[in-house]
Structure 1
Amino acid sequence: MVNMQAKKVVLAYSGGLDTSAIVPWLVENVGCEVVAFVADVGQGEEELAGIEEKARQSGASACHVVDLRREFIEEYVFPTLISGAVYEGRYLLGTSMARPVIAKAQVEIARKVGADAVAHGCTGKGNDQVRFEATFAALAPDLQVIAPWREWNLRSREQLLAYLAERNIPCSSSLAKIYSRDRNLWHISHEGGAIEDPWNAPPEDVWLLTVPPQEAPDEPTDVHLTFERGRPVALDGTRLPGHELVARLNVIAGQNGVGRVDLVENRCVGMKSRGLYETPGGTVIVEALRGLEELTLDRETLHLRQELALKFARLVYDGRWFTSVRDSISHCCERIAQRT
């Protein structure tokens, strides 16, 4: 176990099983005050309802809920969109883009409350531990980072549920909830359960944002997107903030069965992982912008942007948002997007 001597820790808190257990674990094993930080990146009212009280019941001294929806879409999603980045040709980077905006806001809360450490609930086998900690290292190298999944001896959902039950801490999770999901305004991901076997077809009950093609309307739904400098600014002639435009388009595209992806990706930690992704509005936006680029970019410029997209996707996937190389590619792609 690493040396953990923090006095006040800001935990990236979701209200789920893992972070609900992490709060009392930090109090008991580190002897610190725990401040919960909740990032609203568009995961929905169902996940956010009552979350402050839930954090306090788990043992947090306070809970800060920060609305990051506009910042997430305008400053992370749209720059990635403009770059053309798609990881391994299929993944539209929904989770990858959300982690740096969450970790950045977590650091800001840590500074605000005078914390000397930050903590996250990412497992030791996933990408997110890398993404969070790369952001912490870039923005706040002085803060201690605590990753309970690499330290504690709780290794299963059964053990986590028992741990909370022993302490009379309420939790909405159960053994029946077999899927691990991550949702934000751009997408939702699904992992676990029957999905882990690549031989199994995706169960229809896993999908939340999209209908199956056979249930989509027989007639197409026409939508009109307006772009300025590579960014969508209006839907059907109505100018909207980016996060509102994406939210509305999610509904329209989802009702038409658009945006499902079933893939096996190469994680940055060296493992392969099967995931199901729903990115309804994002899929429409990406396809529309690609078509616009075909009309407006000359051959050499388009090919350069495509080359940069591969590098940009890898940087975002690996959690290297706050790096000079990612920033430099963004500046180049913003210049290319002047005509779209």
Structure 2
Amino acid sequence: MSTIRKVVLAYSGGLDTSVILKWLQETYQCEVITFTADIGQGEEVAPAQTKAENLGVKKIYIEDLREEFVKNYVFPMFRANTLYEGEYLLGTSIARPLIAKRLVEIAHETGADAISHGATGKGNDQVRFELGAYALSPNLKVIAPWREWNLTSREKLLAYADQHGISIEGKRKGKSPYSMDANLLHISYEGGLLEDPWCAPEESMWRWTTSPEQAPNQPDEIELEYRQGDIIKVNRESLSPAKVLETLNYLGNKHGIGRLDLVENRYVGMKSRGCYETPGGSIMLKAHRAIESLTLDREVAHLKDELMPRYANLIYNGYWWSPERKLLQQLIDSSQMTVSGLVSLKLYKGNVIVLGRQSKEHSLFMPKIATFEEDAGAYKQQDAEGFIKLNALRLRIEAMNKYQS
């Protein structure tokens, strides 16, 4: 690391990355380039430029990546109905490969020797950032200050900031606030009271969603149009991917949809308790499964469900750029060629209720076969006897052996 001349830092402008910026300048005597991504975190990103300038940064990248984030990362993940450990919609995980990609691209554009991030040595994000960086640029160096320095608490970070004249809004002595991460898909909360898994989260913690108890007494009914597995219209209005998610977030927030309290298994080996708000994503998952139920062959649907946990683990653990994730994505995307049509939903007090689904071109539901009424010979019920007996053959043989013994 002694040859580091130039570093690209993933920079939010908050306490951690502002301290990291100064620490890199002091420790490595290098030029620091900052990169701030707007992926819909809901906070002003422009102040990051002023903060970086005040710390002597000459090259500052601030980029609006909301459309790329949803189109190329969120939508592909939702084509797989992805859930980690059966519950988590991977809001933090799916943002990291995009940030890693841009860090690497900026490093190449500027001739930087290394990239740096603010992830701690206890969490998953260090793995996600670095696996992504090494997959895209195997010889690029990575600096992870939390694994090097002795600034191991918020109080030490604040003291360092005071010592070096780093302006930090909202300084809090004593008890630390929740650690939060937000983007257009979700907001997460860790730390504080949540470190006791028996302790229920405070209502005041939730920033996006209305409490289901306080949500409107009148539901909203919405219609989503899908084309090859992706939403292209909301209530018959054509929207870009980011606008789709923004619209569904608004509706989900209004009706208290998408709250989750989870104890999860981190890749590094420890259990961690986190709370999440994923309003638009929760609506998307329910709707996508509804349109797939109409348009996917049974065995294709079941195969997707079998592969989904593996796919979810790859994203959670940071392997978005791995060959196996890309291979799975090809299979998933191929399955979506017929996943087009309409889904009607009711949103009410924390619930997403499917009202109907329709696909004029690709529906595999045939009323004349499925009906309980007269089917005019479309299905010969007598055929079921042979089907059942053939499938029962191995069971009958096992039973006969038991009885004979």
TM-score for the superposition, normalised by structure 1:
0.97
Aligned partner of 1:218 in structure 2 is: 217
The Cα of 1:173 is off from its aligned counterpart by: 4.1
Aligned partner of 1:262 in structure 2 is: 261
Q: Which amino acid aligns with 1:34?
A: V
The Cα of 1:296 is off from its aligned counterpart by: 1.6
Q: Aligned with 2:79: secondary structure?
A: helix
Q: Aligned with 1:55: secondary structure?
A: helix
Aligned partner of 1:137 in structure 2 is: 134
Quick check: 2:12–2:36 contact (8 Å CA) kept in 1?
Answer: yes
**Which of 52, 74, 79 is equivalent to 2:76?**
79
Q: Which amino acid aligns with 2:271?
A: K
Instruction: Determine if the alignment matches structure 1 residue 172 to structure 2 residue 188.
Output: no
Q: Which amino acid aligns with 1:113?
A: T
Sequence identity (%): 50
CA distance in 2, matches of 1:149, 1:173: 22
Equivalent residue pairs, number: 337
Which runs of 5 or more structure 1 residues have no equivalent in the other structure? none
Aligned partner of 1:17 in structure 2 is: 15
Distance 1:177 1:225, change over 3 A: farther
Aligned partner of 1:119 in structure 2 is: 116
Aligned partner of 1:88 in structure 2 is: 85
Quick check: 1:188–1:277 contact (8 Å CA) kept in 2?
Answer: yes
Alignment of 1:32-71 (within 5 A): 32-44=30-42, 46-71=43-68
The Cα of 1:177 is off from its aligned counterpart by: 5.6
Aligned partner of 1:279 in structure 2 is: 278
Q: Which amino acid aligns with 2:90?
A: L
CA distance in 2, matches of 1:272, 1:136: 26
Aligned partner of 1:229 in structure 2 is: 228
The Cα of 1:84 is off from its aligned counterpart by: 1.7
Q: Which amino acid aligns with 1:11?
A: L
Aligned partner of 1:316 in structure 2 is: 315
The Cα of 1:60 is off from its aligned counterpart by: 2.5
The Cα of 1:196 is off from its aligned counterpart by: 1.2
Quick check: 2:13–2:47 contact (8 Å CA) kept in 1?
Answer: no
Quick check: 2:185–2:278 contact (8 Å CA) kept in 1?
Answer: yes
Q: Which amino acid aligns with 1:97?
A: I
Quick check: 2:154–2:176 contact (8 Å CA) kept in 1?
Answer: no
Deviations 1:279-312 (A, max 9, x none): 0011001100111111221221110010111111
Deviations 1:235-282 (A, max 9, x none): 100010000110111011101000000000000000111110000011
Q: Aligned with 2:89: secondary structure?
A: coil
Quick check: 1:57–1:170 contact (8 Å CA) kept in 2?
Answer: no
CA distance in 2, matches of 1:12, 1:172: 19
Q: Which amino acid aligns with 1:198?
A: P
The Cα of 1:62 is off from its aligned counterpart by: 2.4
Quick check: 1:305–1:333 contact (8 Å CA) kept in 2?
Answer: yes
Deviations 1:177-227 (A, max 9, x none): 601111000011011111111111111111111011111011111111111
CA distance in 1, matches of 2:302, 2:330: 17
Q: Aligned with 1:158: secondary structure?
A: helix
Alignment of 1:295-314 (within 5 A): 295-314=294-313
Alignment of 1:147-158 (within 5 A): 147-158=144-155
Q: Aligned with 1:302: secondary structure?
A: helix
The Cα of 1:5 is off from its aligned counterpart by: 2.9
CA distance in 2, matches of 1:168, 1:11: 20
Quick check: 1:16–1:173 contact (8 Å CA) kept in 2?
Answer: no
The Cα of 1:58 is off from its aligned counterpart by: 3.0
Distance 1:265 1:116, change over 3 A: same
CA distance in 1, matches of 2:212, 2:280: 16
The Cα of 1:16 is off from its aligned counterpart by: 1.2
Quick check: 2:225–2:234 contact (8 Å CA) kept in 1?
Answer: yes
Instruction: Determine if the alignment matches structure 1 residue 26 to structure 2 residue 24.
Output: yes
Which runs of 5 or more structure 2 residues have no equivalent in the other structure? 340-405
CA distance in 2, matches of 1:181, 1:213: 22
TM-score for the superposition, normalised by structure 2:
0.82
**Structure 1 stretch 164-173 or stretch 250-259: which is displaced more?**
164-173
**Structure 1 stretch 184-193 or stretch 48-57: which is displaced more?**
48-57
Aligned partner of 2:156 in structure 1 is: 159
Quick check: 2:13–2:52 contact (8 Å CA) kept in 1?
Answer: yes
Q: Which amino acid aligns with 2:171?
A: S
Quick check: 2:258–2:279 contact (8 Å CA) kept in 1?
Answer: yes
Q: Which amino acid aligns with 1:62?
A: K
Quick check: 1:10–1:109 contact (8 Å CA) kept in 2?
Answer: yes
Deviations 1:78-134 (A, max 9, x none): 111011211000000111000000110111111111111100110000000000000
Q: Which has the larger radius of gyration?
A: 2
Aligned partner of 2:6 in structure 1 is: 8
The Cα of 1:54 is off from its aligned counterpart by: 0.9
Deviations 1:1-37 (A, max 9, x none): xx44310000001111110000110011111000111
Distance 1:65 1:141, change over 3 A: same
CA distance in 2, matches of 1:174, 1:4: 34
Aligned partner of 2:191 in structure 1 is: 192
Quick check: 2:176–2:192 contact (8 Å CA) kept in 1?
Answer: no
